[in-house]
Structure 1
Amino acid sequence: MENSDGSKNLIMSCEKPASDNQLIEDSNDSPIEQVRLTVPITDDPTLPCLTFRTWFLGIISCSVLAFLNQFFGYRQNPLYISSVSAQIVVLPLGRLMAATLPTKRLRVPGTTWSFSLNPGPFNLKEHVLITIFANSGSNSVYAVGIITIVKAFYHRELNPIAAMLLAQTTQMLGYGWAGLFRKFLVDSPYMWWPANLVQVSLFRALHEEEKRPKRGLSRLQFFLIVLISSFSYYIFPNYLFQSITAISFVCWIWKDSVTAQQIGSGLRGLGVGAIGLDWATVSAFLGSPLATPGFAIMNILAGYIIIVYIVIPIAYWNNWYEAKRFPIYSSHVFDEYGKRYNVSSVLNAATFSFDEQGYNDYSKINLSIFFTFAYGLSFATLAATLSHVALFHGRTIWEQTKASFGDKFEDVHTRMMKKNYDPVPQWWFYSLLLLVIGLALLTCEGFGGQLQLPYWGVLLGIGLAFIFTLPIGVITATTNQQPGLNVITELIIGYMYPGKPLANVAFKTYGYISMSQAVMFLQDFKLGHYMKIPPKSMFIVQLVGTIVASSVYFSTSWWLLTTVEYICDPSKLPEGSPWTCPGDDVFYNASIIWGVVGPQRMFGNLGLYSKMNYFFLLGILAPLPVWFLSRRFPNCKWIRLINMPILISGPGGMPPARAVNYNMWFAVGIFFNFVVYKKFKGWWARHNYILSAGLDAGVAFMAILCYFMLQIKDINGPQWWGMEIDDHCPLAGCPTAPGIKVDGCPEVR
C-alpha cells in the first residue's frame, strides 16, 4: 500500500530509495501502485459524452437516489444507497436505449443545432457521466437537517423558499473552491483518491471485454456472483434476523452486570468482543474498508485503541467530569441529575434565543465521557490537519504553485487530459461562486431573518471553507478519510453570536458543507480524470446534478415533515413507527450545545469542559515528532505512513458510529488490505474493488425490495427476539454513580 509520497505498504524496516530507473518508469504511468494496477492508460476522444441517454438516465438516477436516501434517512435504521447501485442498473437500460431508439438526427426548431437520440452503442463515457449524476443524488444535503430540527424538534415555521435556497446555496458554494484547488488535488498524480478506484474497477468490469481465465471467473462474472450472494444474504440482517447486525457475547454471559455490559456492548459501550454479521454494519458509517488504504486503517486502529480502550476507561472509572452519572457512551445532553436535558427550560419561546435566567435556575449541560472526548478529538484533528499538511505537503504545494505551467507534477493521465480536451475556464467557477454567495446572503438576511445568521456570518463561514479546502482535500485524496469542519464552525459562531441556535447551524452548514462539497466535486473530477471525460462535460453534469439533487432532497424532506404526524418524536409516534430520525437527533443536540447554551458555557470559562481546549495544542504539535523522524531517517518509509490527523480522529465517527461498526470495519479492512494484498496481490488487483461494489449493491437492492414489497405494508417479519435491532445489552446505558435514578437501571447506593 502506498502513501501520497509513493511509499510502500506498512513495513517495519528501512529501505533504500527507489532507483532512478524506477522513478522514470513510474513517471510514465502513475507513482501510486494501486492506480497503476487499476486505471487504464488508454483513451478514445471520439466517444460521445453528453448524449440524450446521458441526460435522461442521469437525471432519473440522480432524482431516485436523492429521494430514497432522504426517505430512508428519517428512519430508525437509515439506509445509504450509493451511486454504485445506479452505476449497475443504468448499464442494461443504456444498452436497451441504444438498441431501440431511432438514430435519425433531430433539428432544434429555429436553430442550426441538431442531435440524435441514439448516436451509437452505449459507451463508457456516457456511463461515467450518468454515475456522476448519481453521485450528486447519493450525497446527502446537510441543510435538510436544519429544516428538520426547525419543524420537527423546535416546532417553528420556516419559509419554504428560504429553506429551498438554503439547500441549494450550501451545496453549490463548493464549486468555487474546487476551481481554485483542482490544480493541486486533481492534476497531481500523488492525489490519487482511493475511493475512486472502486468505481474505476467496476467500470472496467462492466465494459471491457476480457477472456475468462482458465478455471477462473471474469471480473463481471465475479461481480454478479458477489451481487447475488450479498442480495440473498441481506434478507437475514434486514428482515428475518436483525439482531445479527450487532452481537455482544459479553452481555449474554453477564446479564445482570452494568460494568460488563458497558465493556461488552457493541451499540452502547466499548464493544469488547462485539461483532456484526452484516455488510451494512461494516460499511455504514466509515465507508468500505476495501477502498481504504492499509496504512490509513492502521492509523485509525491505533487511535481507536488508544482512545476507546485506554483513555475512555481511565476517564470513566476515575469519574472525570462526573462521568458515572451518565451513560459511558451517548450523544445526548444531560442535566446534573442524570436526566435528559430539558431544552425548553433554557430557551425563550418568544424570541427563540437563550434564556439565561432559566439556565441559571436549572442546570449546566453535561455530556457522556465519550461525547466529551469526541469533541476534544475533533479539536485536535482539525489542528493536526493544518500542521500535517504544512509539514508534509507544504513544499510540494508551493512547488506546484511555481510550476503550475510546467509538467513536473504530471503523470500519463494528466498529459492525456491536457492533450485531448479543453479545460474548464476559471471564470466559470468564479462567476458561479459570486452568484451563489449573493443568493446565500439573500437567504440569511431576507425572509424576516428566520435563520438568524447575519451577512457577516455568511461571509465568515465561506472564508473558513476556503482556508480548509486544500488541507482537508489532501488528507481525503491520500487516505480516503475526510476530517470535518462541523465542530470548529460551531465553536467559532457560538462564541461570536451565542444563544442563536439556527444561526449556529446555518453558519456550520455554510462553513463545513461548502468545503465538503468542494472535496466531493474534486473527487468526481478525479474520477473523470481517470476515465478521460472532457472536463467541461464533467462541470455541466456536476452542476445540473447538484441542482436536481438539492431540489429532490428538499422536496422529500418537506413532504415527510408536513405529512407524517409526530415525525422525529418517538414519545408520540405509534409503537413500531420507524420515523425516529436518529441522525437529526444528534444534529438537534449539537444545536443545543453550541447554539442555545453556547461554547462559553460548555468549553469556556463558564462551562464544565474548558480543559478540552488543550486538544487544539495537542493537535498542532502531534505531527511534529513524526515529521522530525521522517527527516532524520529518510529511508524508513514506514515513518511517513504515520498520519497523525487520521490517528487522532480514529474513533471520530463515534457517535453516530458504534464500537461494533469499528470492530468489523477493522477486521475486514486488515484482512483484505494486508493479508490478501500481500499474499494474493494479483487477485487483489483484479477483484478487491469489485468485491466492495458488489457487496454495496446487493445490500441496497435487497433493502429497497424489502421495504417497498413488505415493510411499507406493515409486513415486518416474524415476531421473536432475533428481530430486535439491539445487541441485548440493556444495562450498558445505565449510570453507575450512587443516587442517580434512571428508568430500567439498577440504582447504585
Structure 2
Amino acid sequence: MSEEKIYAHKDGNTFISQQDVSSENEKIREFDRDQVVARLKDMNQLGETVDEDPLADKASAYLFEKFLLTSLGDAIQILNTSLVDHYGDVNFSQALYKKIHLIVAGSEAYGTNAEVHELDARLEAVVIRYHSPYPEVRAVTDPFDDPTVPVETIRAYVLGCLWVAIGSFINEFFNYRQPRLTLQSTVIQLFLFPCGKLTELLPDWGFTFQGTRYSINPGPWSIKEQMFATIMVNCGGQISNWLNMVIALRAKIFFGYDWVDFGFTWVINASSLFFGYGLAGMMRKMVIYPEKAIFPNVLPTLALSRALVVKETKTSINGWTIGRQKLFFLTFVLSFLYFFIPNFLFKALSTFNWMTWIAPKNVNLAIITGSYLGFGLNPIPTFDWAVINSYSPLVVPFYAFLNKFAGALISGVIMLALYYTNYKWSAYLPINSNDVFDRFGNDFNVSRVLTNGVFDHSKYVEYSPPYISAGNIVGTGALLAIYTCAFTYVMISEYKLVYSSTKMFWISIRHPRRKALLEFNDAHSNMMSKYPEVPDWWFLAIFIIFTGLCFAGIYAWPTHVPIWTIISIFLFNIAMMIPLLVVMSRTGSTNGFGAFSVILAGYMDPGNAMTNLMVRMWGYNIDEQAESFIADQKIAHYAKIPQRAAFRGQIVATFIQSFCTVGAIEALFKSVKNFCSKTQPDKFVCATPRTMHSDAIMWGVVSSERVLTSIYPAMKHAFWIGALIGVPFAIVQLKYPQRFKAINPALMGYGAIMWGGTYNLSYYIPGLYFSFLFMFYLRRYYTGWWSKYTYVLTSGLSAGVAFSGVIIFASLQYTNTSLPWWGNKIYASGVDYARTAALKKIPPEGFGLQIGQFS
C-alpha cells in the first residue's frame, strides 16, 4: 500500500516522496551482478575497466547482499530520511543531494526509466544506510565488523608500550633542538607493522583466564591489533606541552627556579595529560558518535594501517590497477628520496622565493613576495612536500581549506595596511615576526624591567614598552576574536546538536547503564553498540583524581599560583570545548587555547610569571589532550576497536608518556652542556621555551592590562567583535543551510591567526592547488579513484618526508655536512631570509611612546 510522506523544513523547502511504499509484502525487483556493475561504471564509481569482479571484495559483497534485500520502498524511505538528516551538511556532496532529491521525486523527475530509477535508488540507499554517506569514510572503513578479530593482545600492548616509550622520549629530547627531530606517528606505524609480523614467528604460548585464552602469538597480525597499537602511539608517543614551561622555569638562562624538580614536573605533567581525558569523555556523545562528525584528520591514519595490513581485491580504477599497499610503499620510497633534493641538494626548491632574487635587497619586494619576511604572495613558492603539506591539503575538506585561505588572505591585506600606515609604529619593525621588541628595535630585554625576578615599574618606565609586529597584532587580534566567534557561531547554528547532546549527557547521568550508542542509527554506531561502552563515571573519576593531583602539586611546591586561576581556566575550557570540538569534528581543523590563556592569565594574576606559564599550560593541554583523546576514540569507532579496549590502551600509553617525557628532560639537563644557550654547539637552543619565557614577561610580568591599555588598546575589542561576527553568520546558516553551508567564520579565524610567526601565504598557496585538485575535482568527478588512493597517497608522501627528515638530521645536519653552491645559497642571499628588514629607519632616540606616555 502506497503512503505519501512529506518532509518539510522551516525555510519552506518540502520534499515529497510519491513512491514511499511499505516494504511489507512488496516484491523486490531482481538485478544481477552485471547490471549493478554496469550501472556503477555509468555512475563513475568503478572507473573505465575492471580486471576482476569488483563486487568480490568483502565490503562490496556485503553491500551487494544488502542491495538484494532492499526494496524500492525501503530505499525511498532511507533516501528521504537522508535528505532531512543531511540538509545543510557541508560534508555531504551537493551533487549527490540533488540526485537523491530527484530520485525520491520519481522516475519521471529523475529522467530515466523505472528500472534504472529503482537500481539507482537502491544503490544509493544501501551505501548510505549500511556504510556511510561520505566517500572519505567509506574509503578507510568496512561496512561490517568481525568481533572475533584479536584486539587487546599481549603483543599489541607490548609493541604499543615499546613504541610509545621510544617515540615520546625521542620526540621530547629533540623537541628543544633547532631544527627539531620528530618521530611522527606515521613513521612509527611503519615500524609497528613489521614488528607485528615478526611476532607471528613466536610460539603459541599463553594461558587461559576466565574462559579466555591469552597467547603471545594468537595468529596473523590483525588490522585491529595494528589500529590498537597505533591508537596508543598517537595518544602517548608525543611531546608534552607542559615540559616547555618546565624548561622556561628551570633553566638558569631563563627563570632558574631550583625547586622545579622531578616530582613537581611529573605531578603537573601527569595531571595535565590526564585531565583532558575526563573532559573529553563528557563530550564524546557530541563529537564521536554522530555520523556527521567525520574527523577528516584521522582518516589518513586509518588508510595507512589498512594499506599495510589488509589484503585487497585487484581492480582497475580509471585505468589504475596498483594496490593501495604497493602505492603506499612506492610513494614512500619516492618521497623519501626526493626529500633530499629540496632539503639538502637544492634548498632553493624548498623555499622558492624566486621573485626576491630579482632584487635581493629590495625591502618592499621582500615584504610582498618573500617566503620569510612578509606577505608571501608567490604563485609558485615551493617544490617541497613538507611545505605544501603544512595545512594538510589532502586531508582537510576543500571548503575548510578555502575558508582558512580566505581568512589568511583577508587578514594579510589588513596586516599590509597596518604596516604601510605605520600603525602603532609597526613600520619600524619586521612586518611578520613573533619577537617582542623595545623602542630601539632590539629584542626586549626582560632583565632590564626586573629586580630580584620581580617586575620593577620604575625600571620599566625608564626602559621601554614591549612592541610587536603588524603580523603579530593581526594574529593576536584574530586569536582573541576566534574563541568568542566560534562560541556564538556554533551555539546558534548548532543549537539542536548542543541541546540534544546535553540532553543525552543528562540522561546518561540519570541512567548510567543506558547505552548512548542506541540513540544513533548509522551503520558504524550500530556495529559499535555490540560492545560495552565506557561508563561516564570512568571519565568523571579521571577528571576528579587528576584535578586533585594538580591542586596538590600547586600547594606542595612554592608555586605561588592562586588556585582560583586554575579553576577559572578549567571552567573557561569546558565552555569553549563544545564549539572547538564541533568545528574539529566536521573540518579537521582546530586551535588550542594556550596562547589566549597567556593574555587571560595576565589579567587574573598580573606580575606573576609562574601563574602565566601554569595557566598557559592548562589552557593548551586541556584542549590538546581532549582533542587527541577524542580523535583516537573516533579512530576506534571507525576501526571497530571496543571502547573499553581503546580507553585502557590510551590510559596505559599516557601513563608511560608522563614518565618518559620527564625522563627526557632530566637527561637533557644532565647531558647537554650550555642547554638552551643561543650558541649551544648541538643547537639545543630551546626556541619554544624562549618564546614562552618572553610571553610570560610581556603578558605576565608586564601584564596584559598594561599591554592592552596603554600600548595596544584596540586589540582588546577583538573579544566582542568576534562574538558579533559569529552571530550573522550563524543566523544565515540557520536560514539558508544549503546555500551558505560552506562559509565558516571560525575557519577563517584559524587562517588569520597564522600571522605573527614564521608562516605566511607561501605555505597556503601550494596547498590550495592540491586541495582543489584532490579534495574538490577528483573527489567530485573521479570518486572511485579518489576514495581508493587519496589518503594512501598523502600518508606515503608524509611518511617518506618524515623518515627522510630523520635521516638527513642524523647523518648530515648533526655533523654539519653541507653543499655550498648557488642552489643552496640564493634563497638566503637577500633581506627576505634575514627577516630583520623594516620599512622605516629607527631614529636615534627610538620610536613609540615616550617616557610618561605609558605606565
Same fold (TM over 0.5): yes
Give me the whole-angstrom Cα distance separating, in 1, the residues matched to 2:822 and 2:290.
53
* Structure 1 residue 131: Cα displacement: 0.3
Matched, 1:647 2:730: no
Q: Report if the CA contact (8 A) 1:162-1:443 is conserved.
A: yes
Give me the whole-angstrom Cα distance separating, in 2, the residues matched to 1:115 and 1:653.
50
* Cα-to-partner distance string for 1:609-655 (whole Å, 9 max, x where unaligned): 11012222221122333333334435xx2401101011122132345
Aligned residue among 162, 183, 198 for 2:300: 198
Matched, 1:507 2:615: yes
Aligned residue among 584, 588, 610 for 1:480: 588
Give me the whole-angstrom Cα distance separating, in 1, the residues matched to 2:734 and 2:184.
41
Aligned residue among 538, 553, 558 for 1:448: 558
* Structure 1 residue 724: Cα displacement: 5.7
* Structure 1 residue 239: Cα displacement: 3.0
The one-letter amino acid paired with 1:486 is G
> Secondary structure of the residue that 2:564 maps to in structure 1?
helix
Give me the whole-angstrom Cα distance separating, in 2, the residues matched to 1:677 and 1:741.
59
Q: Report if the CA contact (8 A) 2:172-2:238 is conserved.
A: no
Q: Report if the CA contact (8 A) 1:345-1:358 is conserved.
A: yes
* Structure 1 residue 662: Cα displacement: 2.3
* Cα-to-partner distance string for 1:81-106 (whole Å, 9 max, x where unaligned): 321111122112111111x2110224
Distance 1:557 1:279, change over 3 A: farther
* Structure 1 residue 114: Cα displacement: 6.5
Q: Report if the CA contact (8 A) 1:583-1:656 is conserved.
A: no
1:322-341 matched pairs, under 5 angstroms:
322-341=425-444
Give me the whole-angstrom Cα distance separating, in 2, the residues matched to 1:725 and 1:388.
46
Aligned residue among 457, 463, 467 for 1:356: 457
* Structure 1 residue 76: Cα displacement: 1.8
Q: Report if the CA contact (8 A) 2:517-2:528 is conserved.
A: no
Q: Which residue of 2 aligns with 1:6?
A: 89
Distance 1:223 1:107, change over 3 A: same
Distance 1:412 1:13, change over 3 A: closer
Distance 1:213 1:553, change over 3 A: same
Give me the whole-angstrom Cα distance separating, in 1, the residues matched to 2:164 and 2:592.
25
* Structure 1 residue 436: Cα displacement: 0.5
Matched, 1:88 2:190: yes
Moved more, 140-149 or 398-407: 398-407
Q: Which residue of 1 aligns with 2:337?
A: 232
Q: Which residue of 1 aligns with 2:765?
A: 663
Q: Report if the CA contact (8 A) 1:39-1:197 is conserved.
A: no
> Secondary structure of the residue that 2:221 maps to in structure 1?
coil
Q: Which residue of 1 aligns with 2:477?
A: 376
Distance 1:10 1:50, change over 3 A: closer
The one-letter amino acid paired with 1:340 is D
Matched, 1:32 2:134: yes
Identity percentage of aligned residues: 27
Q: Which residue of 2 aligns with 1:105?
A: 206
Matched, 1:464 2:565: no
Moved more, 528-537 or 498-507: 498-507
Give me the whole-angstrom Cα distance separating, in 2, the residues matched to 1:684 and 1:361.
63
Q: Which residue of 1 aligns with 2:152?
A: 50
Give me the whole-angstrom Cα distance separating, in 2, the residues matched to 1:425 and 1:139.
27
Moved more, 661-670 or 431-440: 661-670
Give me the whole-angstrom Cα distance separating, in 1, the residues matched to 2:470 and 2:192.
47
1:515-526 matched pairs, under 5 angstroms:
515-526=623-634
Give me the whole-angstrom Cα distance separating, in 1, the residues matched to 2:826 and 2:577.
38
* Structure 1 residue 461: Cα displacement: 2.1
Give me the whole-angstrom Cα distance separating, in 1, the residues matched to 2:96 and 2:324.
35
* Cα-to-partner distance string for 1:689-711 (whole Å, 9 max, x where unaligned): 11111011111212222333444
Q: Which residue of 2 aligns with 1:249?
A: 354
Q: Which residue of 1 aligns with 2:48?
A: none
- Relative contact order: is structure 1 or structure 2 higher (C-alpha 8 Å, sep ≥ 6)? 1
Q: Report if the CA contact (8 A) 1:627-1:640 is conserved.
A: no
Consecutive unaligned residues of structure 2, counting only runs of 5 or more, are 1-84, 105-120, 508-515, 846-855
> Secondary structure of the residue that 1:448 maps to in structure 2?
coil
* Structure 1 residue 553: Cα displacement: 1.9
Matched, 1:432 2:542: yes
Moved more, 621-630 or 695-704: 621-630
Distance 1:197 1:463, change over 3 A: same
Aligned residue among 404, 407, 410 for 1:303: 407
Q: Which residue of 1 aligns with 2:10?
A: none
* Structure 1 residue 656: Cα displacement: 4.0
Q: Report if the CA contact (8 A) 1:246-1:727 is conserved.
A: no
Q: Which residue of 1 aligns with 2:423?
A: 320
1:633-712 matched pairs, under 5 angstroms:
633-634=736-737, 637-659=738-760, 660-712=762-814
Matched, 1:573 2:680: yes
Q: Which residue of 1 aligns with 2:527?
A: 416
Matched, 1:122 2:221: yes
Give me the whole-angstrom Cα distance separating, in 2, the residues matched to 1:727 and 1:272.
18
Give me the whole-angstrom Cα distance separating, in 1, the residues matched to 2:609 and 2:181.
28
Give me the whole-angstrom Cα distance separating, in 2, the residues matched to 1:241 and 1:567.
31
Distance 1:507 1:140, change over 3 A: same
Q: Report if the CA contact (8 A) 2:433-2:758 is conserved.
A: no
The one-letter amino acid paired with 2:484 is A
* Structure 1 residue 237: Cα displacement: 2.9
Distance 1:64 1:740, change over 3 A: farther
Q: TM-score, normalised by structure 1?
A: 0.91
* Structure 1 residue 358: Cα displacement: 1.4
Distance 1:186 1:11, change over 3 A: closer
> Secondary structure of the residue that 1:115 maps to in structure 2?
strand
Give me the whole-angstrom Cα distance separating, in 1, the residues matched to 2:360 and 2:409.
25
Q: Which residue of 1 aligns with 2:386?
A: 280
* Structure 1 residue 23: Cα displacement: 7.6
The one-letter amino acid paired with 2:461 is N
* Structure 1 residue 550: Cα displacement: 2.6
Give me the whole-angstrom Cα distance separating, in 2, the residues matched to 1:188 and 1:725.
51
* Structure 1 residue 493: Cα displacement: 1.7
Number of equivalenced pairs: 722
* Cα-to-partner distance string for 1:213-239 (whole Å, 9 max, x where unaligned): 356201111111100001111122333
Q: Report if the CA contact (8 A) 2:401-2:768 is conserved.
A: yes
* Structure 1 residue 506: Cα displacement: 0.6
Moved more, 140-149 or 111-120: 111-120
Aligned residue among 615, 620, 633 for 2:718: 615
Moved more, 111-120 or 72-81: 111-120
* Structure 1 residue 592: Cα displacement: 2.1
Give me the whole-angstrom Cα distance separating, in 1, the residues matched to 2:139 and 2:591.
28
Give me the whole-angstrom Cα distance separating, in 2, the residues matched to 1:385 and 1:549.
32
Give me the whole-angstrom Cα distance separating, in 2, the residues matched to 1:213 and 1:28.
22
* Structure 1 residue 730: Cα displacement: 2.2
* Cα-to-partner distance string for 1:546-566 (whole Å, 9 max, x where unaligned): 121232222213322343223
* Structure 1 residue 170: Cα displacement: 0.9
* Structure 1 residue 24: Cα displacement: 8.7
Q: Report if the CA contact (8 A) 1:246-1:266 is conserved.
A: yes
Q: Which residue of 1 aligns with 2:290?
A: 188
Q: Report if the CA contact (8 A) 1:266-1:727 is conserved.
A: no
* Cα-to-partner distance string for 1:504-531 (whole Å, 9 max, x where unaligned): 1111211331122111101100100000
Q: CA RMSD in A?
A: 2.7
The one-letter amino acid paired with 1:573 is Q
Distance 1:651 1:728, change over 3 A: farther
Distance 1:13 1:264, change over 3 A: farther
* Structure 1 residue 12: Cα displacement: 12
Give me the whole-angstrom Cα distance separating, in 1, the residues matched to 2:447 and 2:583.
41
The one-letter amino acid paired with 1:153 is F
Q: Report if the CA contact (8 A) 1:262-1:733 is conserved.
A: no
Aligned residue among 385, 394, 403 for 1:290: 394
Q: Report if the CA contact (8 A) 2:236-2:650 is conserved.
A: no
